[in-house]
Homo-oligomer: A and B are copies of this chain.
């Protein structure tokens, strides 16, 4: 069973500004900016009743979203993150079904302190997919 949509991540050069209109125009609850140097991003999130929107801006040299922002000057929807019960089981099923896992296939600790993997956009209609062990 596919788990919850944990978040939609939107890459931008200014996460605080990006989140602000969600607060002003929608009354959404907006978090403080949280720098995550080990992930190369600063995060601000907008809380919705059923999920969250994460605004990510580059932090430091070699941010993983720097290239995306070169190609998409205005920013854009960067990835979607689904929760899974067991990331190893999910990874193995995904690979069996023909999906490619990015990197070395070993789950890393993600922005929420939980194991995550990223899947190849070409296998998901151009959408970068993150899976997170809930």
Query: Interface residue tally of chain A, by bracket?
Result: 35 or more
A123 partner residues in chain B, CB cutoff 8 A: 21
Q: Which of B2, B46, B75 contacts A28, CB < 8 Å?
A: B2
User: Among B22, B55, B80, B93, which residue has its beta carbon within 8 angstroms of that of A77?
Assistant: B80
A2 CB contacts on chain B under 8 angstroms: 22, 26-28, 46, 48-49
B126 lies within 8 A of A74 (CB) = yes
**A24 within 8 Å of B (CB atoms):** yes
A contacts, CB < 8 Å to B = 1-5, 8, 10-12, 18, 21-22, 24-28, 46, 48-51, 53, 55, 72, 74-77, 80, 82, 84, 90, 93-94, 96-99, 121-127
Residue of B nearest to A15 (CB): B125
15 A-B pairs (CB sep. < 8 Å): A1-B49, A2-B48, A5-B50, A8-B8, A10-B126, A18-B124, A21-B94, A21-B98, A24-B97, A25-B94, A26-B82, A26-B90, A72-B126, A75-B125, A76-B126
Contact A11 B125 (CB under 8 A): yes
| Nearest CB in chain B to that of A30: its residue | B2
Which B residues are in CB contact (< 8 Å) with A74? 121-122, 125-126
